[in-house]
Structures are given as structure tokens and as C-alpha cells.
Amino acid sequence: MSNIQVDAGRLNPKATSKRHRTQAGGRASLALVSLLFLTPALLFYGVFELWPIIQTIWYSLYEWNGIDASTFVGLQNYVTVFTDPDLYGSILHSFILILFFSVIPIALGLVIAALIKEIKSKTASTFAQVCLFLPRVIPGAAAAVAWTWMLADKGTVNQMLRAIGLGDLAHVWLGDQSTALAAVGVIGFWLQLGFCIVLLLSGMGSIDQSLYEAASLDGAGWWRQLFSITIPGLRGQIGVCLTMTIVAALASFDVVYMSTQGGPGRSTMVPGVAVYRLAFTEQSVGLASALAVALMILVLLVVGPLQRLVNGKRG
Amino acid sequence: MKIGTYMSSRVLKATAAMLGVACVASLAACGPGSSGQNTSSAEAVSTDLGDTKYELTLWDGAGLKTYDDALIAAFEKKNPNITIKATYDPDNVSQQNGPRIISSADAPDIARITDINSAVRGKHLTNLDDYSKAYGWNLPDSQTEVYRVDDSGKIGSGSLYAIPSGISMTGMYWNSAVAKKLGITEAPKTVSELEKDMAKAKSAGVLPMVMPAKEGGTSYIYQSLLVNNEGRDSVQKWILQAEGATFDTAGAVQAAQTIQSWQEKGYFSDDALALDGSTAVSRFAKGDGLFFPSGSWYSATLNESLGSDVGFFAYPGNASGDEASAAANAVSAFGIPANAKHKNAAAAFLNFLTTDEARQIAVDHGYPPIGSGTAPSTDNALLTQILAAYQDLVKSGNTTDFINNATAGMQASAIIPNFQQLLDGSMKPEAFAKAIQAQYEKEVK
């Protein structure tokens, strides 16, 4: 930290001329200079991140159509969020999506990454990585449209099922309340898997190879090595994967909006789509804000402890 | 590390203080959006614009660009001193942007009115009564009813706030070539005839009805059954949010039962719940399906693809002799925002919409025209059938607005999900009627 002090002193002519400053004074002016450097970034953060959040919290206390005069309603909007089955139902759906967006991609990603690592040919392993990472490059909205066709009555998925004699299982996947949420989840799984694999692979590279050698000498098999060496060694990467994918699940919007718009019925409604609909279609900005704030707090409640769990054990 | 901690705690404190001040400041001030202002200059109502040069702005949905551009070109030709600059928003967001656009300080002079309720309640629109008197506008009640608001803010009668550019109406397309193969030579004249024809199609392995339920397409045919059961006036009252109007009626439940029974009999495709409007029309255009309940907006597409094989008829009544019905409203309802700068010139454009020239332009673009006179001619044979059907409906007055428009959130939050649940059997007809009414009561206060 001392070099920062020197730099700051050099940049501030007054500080260099008055070398007899008390330490407290120097520290204060250093803080001031540092703050000055931080100001542009802080300003952006304040205007585009903090201020909208404050505004949303403020709006959530009002009944407001977004244009005309508003009425203060206190916490009434929050009461509605947690008593209206359509609204809290949407939150429950997003928790189910965690299974598809987060748990399955990470579990499968671990196995696939471990398998890719075994591939001896450099070309083949790169090819496999690129193939698996590709979905990540496609915008969620575009992926959702493509999957809508594939999951349709005469789409690719059903064609394949019929081709292998499983025609009885063919389904209008997005058009049935019992399968729609899972079908949306599959789209999310497809989008998140590549990200998890690439991140986990990079983590595996930094695990000491001698551990594997020692383990195999002791007679540990592939699965044993995965559970005893790879997974503990990837704690940090798994933490990042979990955080990113869980946030993607809880705050999902594009995939659902483009594939089902929350239907059939309300079977795939998620908070992201509900907030959009309340604010812009129903002109209930207050209620939409309350749902958004509730969602934000939920995301923090889920992701916060996760960070502690992952970082705490490492430190 | 010491300085780092020191810094971060300082920054934190500063930020916290800043936030705190901001919070208190905003909470202490009045609620959001209360500073409604009206910046327009008072302009005496006049139909005489003289030679003054006017530059007007117009706002509408992008899907109507060619139609509006044709109207504007014809209007500018007649009024060389007025030019109109039009801006268009994508159709899927115009509904959301509309309220903000007409209420902004630099609102356009002529704008599509997307939500008459909030527009009039917020005093964002110019009362057109004086212009109507000065120009002598004389449109059928059924075409202006939903753009009239009385002093208490109730829609349905009172002062006029918008003029439709043309009419969008629902109705049934049918494939007469497919029908002929089934031995059906005439369009059904009652609901039971319609059901008989569908049964015939089903047993012959032809899809009886193309039903796009992904985006709420079930509501058009349902609304006609509802009007048959409950009567035009009571449905229109509900749409106009009249005191005490309710959706939870025996007629609404019965109409829901009918729709559900069609689904149970297999009259719709298996993927109805995942079928969107554009896929549905392309299927019907390829010759799949006997009936396609939809609206006038597809006349050009279907005339082109099916030619003389496609026909159109208004939704039939329950018994023979009963009036047919349709949901009909403006293609675009043009109003003059309160903040518009050139209201007299804008009114001249609205007046132009009522002329025969504008009516011809409406038909040329595939829309039934406003007014009640003889329909202008068209070489689109399908549109000719639609125009004839609409002329009969103007005479009988048996049209309503769309139930989808009863409230801002009705379509997205009630019509689409509840019809889907009705079709897949997870909702009983009684619960369906109650659910629609529940959404209505959430929004109508």
C-alpha cells in the first residue's frame, strides 16, 4: 500500500511541498484524492445502479400507473406480492428453474469436463469444448425461438422420439401445463451447460496432477478421483457457476418471454416476465416494483450465503 | 491493508449518507408522477386554417405505416400548407409506449390512443366535441361509443376523444374447397350448424377449426358465443366498465362450456395451446382446417394464398334468424393529445379520415371503412365479403369492442392464460368466468 501513498503524494503538489504534515492530515488528503479518482466510477454506479434501485424501492410504496398522480399505499404492494397466488407462484417457478439452470448443468458439467480432460487429442478436446460452449454465445431470446420450433408438435424433438419408436412420448412440450416449465428449463440447461463446462475445465487445469497419480496408485477409480480430488479442488469455480446460474434462473426473462410468455395458463410465469407485464401492460408500476424488490432480496438471500460458503472455506 | 479498510469504510459511510439523504428527500416529496403539466397553448377551435404553414407530428404502430402514409399523402395533397411527419413504434410495444407518448410534454399532434381510460382520466386528450360540431362529423354510434367519455370519467357516452382511421373486425374464415369435399355448400347460419359442420370435418379426418390459443386467439369465437347468450349491450357494458357489470354470468359460463366441449371433441389441433397467430394463418393458408376464427386483418394474406377457396362470414347467432355478431374497433383511434401544439390542423386530419377519399384508402389497405355509406369498391374478393358482413353489422348494431380490451391487463393476464386452462381442461367453465372477472376487478376500481 505504501507505493500508492507515494503516487498519491506525487500527484498532489501540495502534499509533496508540505512534508511536515501530520499523519492524520496526510491520510485525509490521500482519501480525498482517492475519492476523486473513484468519483467517475462511483457517479456511474450511483446514477445507473443505486439510483434506479432506490427509485424502485420508492415506487414500490405507491400505487402508480407510471404517468399520472400516485397514491401512497405503504407496504400494501408487498402484501399483494406474497398473497396473490399468481405473483408468489411466479417466484416458486423460478426456484424450480434453479434445478434446470443450475444444479443439472453443474452436475453434468463436472462429468463432461472431467471426460474432456481425459481426451488425449488436442484438436478433439478443443472441438468438444467449442461445440459445448457455442450455446452460450447465442442470445437467450434467439435460443428460445429456435427451441420453440424444436419442441413443437412436429418439431425436431418429437420427430426424433417418433423415429426411434417412442412416438407415444411425443408431446406438445411447451403447450402442456405439466411439461412447459420443464421444457423451458431444458432451454435454460442448454444455455448454461457450456459456461459451466468451460469454467470447470479451466479450474481442473490448476489442480495438481500428482494428486491424481497418487490417488490412482492407491487404487482410486475415475469416480472416486472425481469426488475426492476434482470436486474439492473446484470449490471456487463451482461457487462462481452456482452464483451465475442461480441468478440467471431467478431473474430469467428472455427465454420465458420468447417461448411461452408465462403460459400455458400460468405454468411458466416467472418474476421477470410478471414485473414487465405489471409495469408496462397493466400500468401497475408500484406493484411491479414491489415484486422486483422482493425478487432482488430473494436473489441476495440465496446468493449471499452461497458466497460465504464458498469463499469462507477457501480463506 | 489499513488504508484500504479505512477508505472503504469512508466510502461506505459517504454512500450510505448520500443514499439516506436521497431516500428521505424523495419520500418527503410527493409521490412519483404527480407533476402533471399541460404545456399547450389555448387555440380557439377553428376549421379555417388559412395559408399558415403547419408541421404536424403523428404517432402510430409500425404495422400501419403503409396505410397511414397513404392517408397522410392524400391529406397533404388536399392541404398543401400542412405537412405531417409520422413516427412509428413496433406494434408489440406501441401498447406500452402509448400512454407515455401522449402524456409527454412534446406529445405528437395526432396520436394513436392505446388506452382511452387512462388517457382521459389523466386529462391527456383534447375534447373533440367542438370540432365534431364545427365539421359536422356523423359517425355511427357503434364506431365512436368507445371513444366517448362523460364528465364522471365513464366510457360509452359523452364527449368525443378520438376518431377511428378504419375498422378491425372479427369473423370466421372458412375454406370452401375443403367444405365442398365434405359436402358442405353453405356457410353455417347458426352455432349448431357450425357444430354440425365441425363434426363432419372431424369424422372425415379434417381439422375442424384452426385455434391459435398461445396468444389468446380463442377469445374471438368465444366472444361471439357470449354475445349470443348474454346480448350485445351487457357485453359492451362490461367492456366499457359500466357500474355493476360482471363477467360471471350464466351466458359466459355456457359459452365457456361450448368452447371446452369443442376441445373435448377434438375440433382443435393437439398443439392449440402452443399455436401462435402467424403459424395458424399459414397453416390455414396451406389448406389445413375448415374454419379459422380470426379477423379482417388477415384478408390480404388469405385472399392471396387461397383465392376463391376462402370465404368469410360473421359469427352466427344461436338460432336461425338471430343476428350475427362481431367484435369491432378502430384500426387506429386517432386523438389529439392535450399537449399538442397545432390542434386545429390536427383536427383537419381527423376530419379527412371521415371523407370518402379516406374511406377508399381504408378499403385499399384491407380495412372496413368508418361511416355507414356504401362501401368503396375493391378487387379483393375476400375483402368484399368482409365489407358486406360489416355493412350488415353496422345496420344491426350488433358489434361490441373486444373483450380483450376491457382493461389494460385483460389480454395478457386473464384472456390468454385462462383460455389455455379452459382448453386443457384444468379449469372449469365456472372458474373461468370467475377468473376473468377477478382480473377485471383487480384493475377496475
pLDDT digits (tens, 9 = 90+) for A93-111: 999 999 999 999 999 999 9
Q: Which of residues 85-104 of A touch B (CB under 8 A)?
A: 86
- Compute the Cα dihedral for B140, B141, B146, B150 and give only its sign: positive
Interface test with A, best of B94, B95, B413 (most A CBs within 10 A): B413
Nearest CA in chain B to A54: B23
pLDDT of B13 reads: 57
Residues B140 and B250 in one domain: no
Task: With CB atoms and an 8 Å threshold, state whether A277 touches B11.
Answer: no
pLDDT tier at B15, thresholds 50, 70, 90: low
Look up the domain containing B121 and give its range.
Answer: 54-161+332-366
Q: Is A23 helix (H, G, I), strand (E, B) or coil?
A: helix
- The arithmetic mean of pLDDT across residues B94-100, rounded, is 85
Name the more confident of B3 and B56.
B56
Q: How near does any CA of chain B get to the CA of A100, in Å?
A: 21
Task: With CB atoms and an 8 Å threshold, state whether B424 touches A68.
Answer: no
Residues B134 and B280 in one domain: no
- Position B272 pLDDT exceeds 50: yes
Q: Which of A86, A283, A285 sits opposite B118 (nearest CB)?
A: A283
- Position A10 pLDDT exceeds 70: no
Q: Are B129 and B42 in contact (CB under 8 A)?
A: no
Task: With CB atoms and an 8 Å threshold, state whether A277 touches B118.
Answer: no
Nearest CA in chain A to B408: A282
Task: Write out chain B residues lying below 8 Å of A81, CB-based.
Answer: none
Q: Are B286 and B210 in contact (CB under 8 A)?
A: no
In a domain, B5, yes or no: no
Residues A295 and A158 in one domain: yes
Burial grade of A131 (CB within 10 A; 0-12, 13-18, 19 or more) = exposed
pLDDT of B107 reads: 93
> For B28-57, how does the pLDDT look when each residue is reduced to its tens digit (9 = 90+)?
456 777 554 555 556 788 888 888 899 999
Residue-averaged pLDDT of chain B? 88
Strand B326-330 relative to strand B399-400: parallel, antiparallel, unpaired?
Answer: parallel
- Position B344 pLDDT exceeds 60: yes
Residues B300 and B415 in one domain: yes
Angle B429-443/B250-264 helices, nearest 10 degrees?
Answer: 130
Q: Are B274 and A172 in contact (CB under 8 A)?
A: yes
Q: How many domains does chain B have?
A: 2
Task: Write out chain B residues lying below 8 Å of A284, CB-based.
Answer: 409
∠ at Cα A240 (A238, A243), nearest 5°?
105
In a domain, A89, yes or no: yes
- Position A31 pLDDT exceeds 80: yes
Start-to-end C-alpha separation, chain B? 59
Residues B79 and B102 in one domain: yes
> For A133-192, how does the pLDDT look when each residue is reduced to its tens digit (9 = 90+)?
888 888 889 999 999 999 988 889 999 999 998 888 888 898 888 999 999 999 999 999
pLDDT tier at B12, thresholds 50, 70, 90: low
Residues B113 and B241 in one domain: no
Would you tell me how many other CB atoms lie within 10 Å of the CB of residue A5? Answer: 14
In a domain, B33, yes or no: no
Task: Write out chain A residues lying below 8 Å of B412, CB-based.
Answer: 261, 277, 281-282
Give the integer Cα–Cα distance in Å for B180 and B309.
10
Q: Which of A66, A263, A280 sits opposite B33 (nearest CB)?
A: A66
- The arithmetic mean of pLDDT across residues A283-293, rounded, is 94
Residues B212 and B309 in one domain: yes
In a domain, A23, yes or no: yes
Residues A191 and A243 in one domain: yes
Q: Which of B31, B99, B271 sits opposite A71 (nearest CB)?
A: B31
Look up the domain containing A24 and give its range.
Answer: 2-59
Q: Are B371 and B140 in contact (CB under 8 A)?
A: yes
- Position B23 pLDDT exceeds 60: no
Task: Write out chain B residues lying below 8 Å of A277, CB-based.
Answer: 409, 412-413
Residues B434 and B323 in one domain: yes
> For B63-80, how does the pLDDT look when each residue is reduced to its tens digit (9 = 90+)?
899 999 999 999 999 999
Residues B126 and B248 in one domain: no
- Position B288 pLDDT exceeds 90: yes
Burial grade of B188 (CB within 10 A; 0-12, 13-18, 19 or more) = buried
A189: domain CATH number is: 1.10.3720.10
The alpha helices in B86-163, defined as continuous H runs, are 91-103, 116-121, 129-135, 141-144
Give the integer Cα–Cα distance in Å for A229 and A231.
6
In a domain, A117, yes or no: yes
Task: Write out chain B residues lying below 8 Å of A50, CB-based.
Answer: 15, 19
- The arithmetic mean of pLDDT across residues A246-262, rounded, is 91
Give the integer Cα–Cα distance in Å for B56 and B343.
9
pLDDT tier at A22, thresholds 50, 70, 90: low
Residues A271 and A133 in one domain: yes
Choose from A10-19, A23-32, B40-49, B226-235 the range with maximum mean pLDDT.
B226-235
Q: Scan for cell 463446462, then name that residue.
A: A197
Q: Which of B95, B412, B417 sits opposite A265 (nearest CB)?
A: B417
Task: Write out chain B residues lying below 8 Å of A29, CB-based.
Answer: none
- The arithmetic mean of pLDDT across residues B386-406, rounded, is 92
In a domain, A66, yes or no: no
Residues B185 and B283 in one domain: yes
pLDDT of B30 reads: 63
Residues B418 and B396 in one domain: yes
What proportion of chain A, given as a percentage, has pLDDT over 90? 50
Residues B396 and B340 in one domain: no
Residues A39 and A183 in one domain: no
∠ at Cα B71 (B66, B76), nearest 5°?
125
How large is the C-alpha radius of gyration of chain B?
25
Residues A114 and A187 in one domain: yes
pLDDT of B16 reads: 55
Q: Which of B32, B407, B443 sits opposite A59 (nearest CB)?
A: B32
Residues B84 and B108 in one domain: yes
